[in-house]
Amino acid sequence: MRVAIIGTGYVGLTTGVCLAFMGHTVSCLDSDEAKIKALWEGKIPIFEPFLEEVFHEALVNLTFTSTYAEAIPEAEVVFIAVGTPPTPSGAPNLEFLSQAARSIGQHITRDFVVVVNKSTVPIGSGNWVDSLLREAVASRADRSAVQFAVASNPEFLREGSALHDSLYPDRIVIGADEPRALEVLYTLYRPILDQTFTPPNFLPRPETVGAVPLLSTDLASAELIKYAANAFLALKISFINEIGLVAERVGANISEVGRGIGLDSRIGPRFLSAGIGWGGSCFGKDTAALIATAGEYGLHLPIVEAAKKINSRQRDRVVEKLLNELKILKGRTVGLLGLAFKPNTDDLREAPAIEIAQKLIDRGVRVKAHDPIAMEKFEQVYGKMGVQLCQNAEQVVEDCDAVVLVTEWNDYRELDWETLAKKMRAPLILDGRHTLDREKLTRAGVRYVSLS
Ligand SMILES: NC(=O)c1ccc[n+]([C@@H]2O[C@H](COP(=O)([O-])OP(=O)(O)OC[C@H]3O[C@@H](n4cnc5c(N)ncnc54)[C@H](O)[C@@H]3O)[C@@H](O)[C@H]2O)c1
C-alpha cells in the first residue's frame, strides 16, 4: 500500500521504517528540512537500537520530503505522528496536529484515504481532525472526488526498544467509526498481525510471539486506551516508590518487596522498580493531559494526580539524601551517571537528570555528568547549563563528593568500583535505580545509599 507519515520523530520514523520493511511504499514527511536532508543521506537523526539497520533494509521502499504536495496525493493511508507537547495547563499543544491536518486536507486526492492519528491526542481529537480535514477539502476547487475517514491508532512503543515493539507488539488498537477505514488498516498491518513477515536477522521473532491481537474500537475508546495505559504504568511506578518510603522506615528491602509483589500474575513484575521515577516525553505529558481532559468534564482524578506528585517528590529525595549524607551541599562536587531519561535512548525530554542537575546547581553544587549516547543532544538542547560533561565514568567520579546513578545504562553496571573509589574525594554512591551491587560496592570501600 502507499503510505505517508507526517512527522519523522521517534514514533513516525519507526512506524515508517517498519511499514516499509513490510513492503509498503512509504513517504516520510517532516517540516524539519534538516531531518529530511539527513535521512536522504542515510543518517538517522535519533538514537534508537536497530533503527538504522531496519532503515537500510527497507530503504528501497522509503522516500523523504518536507512537501505535502509530494507525499500526500498518492497516499492511501496518512499517519499523523507529530509531537503533542504539554502546555502549562497540562493540555497538549495541538498546533502541530492542526497544521498537519489542514495540510493533509489541502492535498489528498484519492477517492478514499484513511487519515490516522498516531500522535497521542486528547479524546475527541479524531472528530476534530475530521472537521479540520473537511474544512481544508471544502476550500479547494478540485474537491469533488475526495473521500476520507479518520482513524485512531495509538502507539505503545517504548523508546529504547521501539523496533522490537513495532514488529512484535502486544496488541494493535484501531479506533474507527467508518468500517472501510478499519478494513484498510487491517490490510496494512496484516503482516504484523499475522506475523507473516521474515524477521530481520538482528531482531528475531521471540518464540513467545504468535498472532498479534487487533482491538477494534470506536474513536473515543482508542484515544482513551492510550491515556489510560500510560497513566496505569505511571501509577505502578509511583506505587512502588510510595511503598519504598515505608520500606525504608521499617528496614525492608524494596527490591525484594517489588519482586514479591510482581510474581503475583495478577500484578506482573514490570514497572515495579523503585527509584528516581519516570521521565520521558510521554508519562508526564499524558497524565497531565488525562487530568486536563477529565477537568473539562468536571472530573477529578486523584489517583493519577497522586502518581504525578509522588514522581516529582522522588527528584527532591535525591537532593534530600545527598544533603543528609554530605550535610553541606554548597561547594561540593556531585557526579551524575546518565542523562537520558532511560537507557538505550538519546531522548532527554523530562529526563530526571536535568531536573536533578538544576536543583543541585541551584544549591551551589558543581555538577559533572556522563551519558553513553545523550551528551551531544544535551549540549544541543541545554547548552551546558553549568554541567561539566565528561568523556567516561572515570572522569565523572574524579574528585566527587558523591556520585548519583541516574540512568541504569548497562555500561554502569560493569564499572570497576575498586579503582573508581580511589579517585573520589569521598566514595559515596546514591543508586537512584536500585541497579548496582550493594555488596560489591561496599567491599570496594564505597558507601552505598539508595532512595529507599
Ligand atoms: N516517543 C515515544 O516514546 C512515544 C510513544 C507513543 C506515543 N508517542 C506520541 O507520538 C507523538 C510523536 O512523538 P515523538 O516522540 O515521535 O515526537 P518527536 O518530537 O520525536 O517527533 C515529532 C516530529 O514531527 C515533526 N512535525 C511537527 N509538526 C509538523 C508538521 N506540521 N508537519 C510535518 N512534521 C511536523 C517535528 O519536526 C518532529 O520531527 C506524540 O504525540 C507522542 O506523545 C510517543
Cα–Cα distance measured from residue 323 to residue 82, given in angstroms and rounded to the nearest whole number: 41
Question: Which residue's CA is the nearest one to ligand 1's atom 27?
Answer: 82
Question: Which residue's CA is the nearest one to ligand 1's atom 23?
Answer: 7
Of all atoms in ligand 1, which is nearest to the CA of residue 46? Answer: 20
Cβ–Cβ under 8 Å, residues 53 and 91: no
Confidence bin at 142 (pLDDT 50/70/90): confident
C-alpha cell at 84: 503533542
Tell me the three state secondary structure of residue 420.
helix
C-alpha cell at 213: 491481537
C-alpha cell at 218: 470506536
Tell me the three state secondary structure of residue 410.
helix
List ligand 1's pocket residues with C-beta within 6 A. Answer: 6-12, 29-32, 35, 81-84, 96, 99-100, 119-120, 155, 157, 159, 281-282
pLDDT above 90 as % of the chain: 96
Alpha carbon of 118 to ligand 1 centroid (Å): 9
Of all atoms in ligand 1, which is nearest to the CA of residue 66? Answer: 33
Confidence bin at 271 (pLDDT 50/70/90): very high
Q: Quote the pLDDT of residue 127.
A: 96
Return the residue matching grid coordinates 517504548: 158
Tell me the three state secondary structure of residue 167.
helix
Cβ contacts of 295 within 8 Å, gap of 6 or more: none
Catalytic residue, from 18, 28, 282, 400: name it: 282
Cα–Cα distance measured from residue 393 to residue 414, given in angstroms and rounded to the nearest whole number: 11
Beta-carbon neighbour count of residue 271 at 10 Å? 18
Tell which residue, 230, 353, 222, has the closest CA to residue 283.
230
Instruction: Say which DSSP state 382 is in.
Output: H
Q: Quote the pLDDT of residue 383.
A: 86
C-alpha cell at 177: 467509526
Cα–Cα distance measured from residue 84 to residue 122, given in angstroms and rounded to the nearest whole number: 10
Cα–Cα distance measured from residue 177 to residue 220, given in angstroms and rounded to the nearest whole number: 9
Q: Which of 32, 82, 107 to mutate to test the pocket of ligand 1 (most atoms within 8 A of CB)?
A: 82
Which amino acid belongs to residue 247? A
Confidence bin at 270 (pLDDT 50/70/90): very high
Tell which residue, 172, 171, 170, 166, has the closest CA to residue 203.
166
Q: Quote the pLDDT of residue 30.
A: 98
Cα–Cα distance measured from residue 99 to residue 105, given in angstroms and rounded to the nearest whole number: 10
Q: Quote the pLDDT of residue 131.
A: 97
Rg of the chain over Cα atoms, rounded to whole angstroms, equals 24
Alpha carbon of 119 to ligand 1 centroid (Å): 7
Count of positions (residues) in the chain: 452
Tell which residue, 33, 85, 26, 30, has the closest CA to residue 58.
26
Give the pTM.
0.95
> Mean of the pLDDT values across residues 121-150?
92
C-alpha cell at 426: 569521598
Alpha carbon of 447 to ligand 1 centroid (Å): 42
278: which strand partners? Answer: none
Residue 429 CA to chain centroid, in angstroms?
Answer: 27
6: which strand partners? Answer: 29, 80
Q: Which of 155, 287, 346, 349 to mutate to test the pocket of ligand 1 (most atoms within 8 A of CB)?
A: 155
Task: Please write the tens of the pLDDT for every residue from 40-68.
Answer: 999 999 999 999 999 999 999 999 999 99
Alpha carbon of 45 to ligand 1 centroid (Å): 13
Of all atoms in ligand 1, which is nearest to the CA of residue 282? Answer: 43
> Mean of the pLDDT values across residues 16-25?
98
Alpha carbon of 143 to ligand 1 centroid (Å): 29
Cβ–Cβ under 8 Å, residues 60 and 22: no
Alpha carbon of 13 to ligand 1 centroid (Å): 9
Beta-carbon neighbour count of residue 74 at 10 Å? 13
Domains of the chain: 2-215 (3.40.50.720), 226-306 (1.10.1040.10), 313-450 (3.40.50.720)
Tell which residue, 128, 123, 52, has the closest CA to residue 292.
123
Q: Which of 5, 30, 39, 152 to mutate to test the pocket of ligand 1 (most atoms within 8 A of CB)?
A: 30
Alpha carbon of 63 to ligand 1 centroid (Å): 18
Cα–Cα distance measured from residue 312 to residue 306, given in angstroms and rounded to the nearest whole number: 10
Question: Which residue's CA is the nearest one to ligand 1's atom 12?
Answer: 83
Beta-carbon neighbour count of residue 395 at 10 Å? 14
Task: Please write the tens of the pLDDT for every residue from 379-433.
Answer: 999 887 899 999 999 999 999 999 999 999 999 999 999 999 999 998 999 999 9
Beta-carbon neighbour count of residue 418 at 10 Å? 13
State yes or no: is 18 an active-site residue.
no
Q: Quote the pLDDT of residue 141.
A: 85
Q: Which of 6, 11, 29 to mutate to test the pocket of ligand 1 (most atoms within 8 A of CB)?
A: 11
> Mean of the pLDDT values across residues 338-349?
97
Cα–Cα distance measured from residue 226 to residue 230, given in angstroms and rounded to the nearest whole number: 6
Task: Please write the tens of the pLDDT for every residue from 274-303.
Answer: 999 999 999 999 999 999 999 999 999 999
27: which strand partners? Answer: 4, 63
φ, ψ of residue 415 in degrees (nearest 5): -65, 150
Q: Which residue has the higher pLDDT, 144 or 344?
A: 344
C-alpha cell at 343: 537507557
Question: Which residue's CA is the nearest one to ligand 1's atom 10?
Answer: 119
Cβ burial 85-120 (10 Å sphere, 16+ → b, else e): ebeeebbbebebbeebbbbbbebbebeebbbbbbbb
Which amino acid belongs to residue 268? G
